[in-house]
Amino acid sequence: MCAGDFTRPCTSESEKETYQQVALAGNNGIIYILENYKVTSFVHVDYSITRVLRYRPKSLPESSPDILICAGHCNEIRAYYYGELITTYGTQDWVHDMILGDIDGDGKDELVMGLLNQTIAVLKCSIEME
């Protein structure tokens, strides 16, 4: 699970500070959103989800929702924005864990993934929104 703003834009800075959702990964391949004590289905993935991660690129406007990255029982990761699939990336094995950070000090985020075959994969994150 992870916290963020995934389904709608915030209209003001004060709303952004108080508004938050929780993305819940399901073994049934569904990612759910918990908001105001209500759980709703967000996206359906074709495999069991084991990891979800909030990604907030610097290029996104403040009022835009976050990008949700997910991984599970498949050799790929997927990224969703407003509940729509925006990209997939094939991996050598299932992703066991993942984290975002600027590991090379260039001011841009990298996605670091630990795979089940005991390898590490690093992706440079680059999102261009229209």
Q: Residues 74-119: pLDDT tens digits?
A: 999 999 999 999 999 999 999 999 999 999 999 889 999 999 999 9
Whether the per-residue pLDDT at 126 is higher than 90: the answer is no
pLDDT mean over 110-129:
89
Question: Residue ranges per domain, the chain?
Answer: 2-91
pTM: 0.88
CA angle at residue 66 from 43 to 108, to 5 degrees?
125
d(CA 99, CA 77): 12
Residue 14 phi, psi (nearest 5): -65, -35
**2-91: CATH number:** 2.40.10
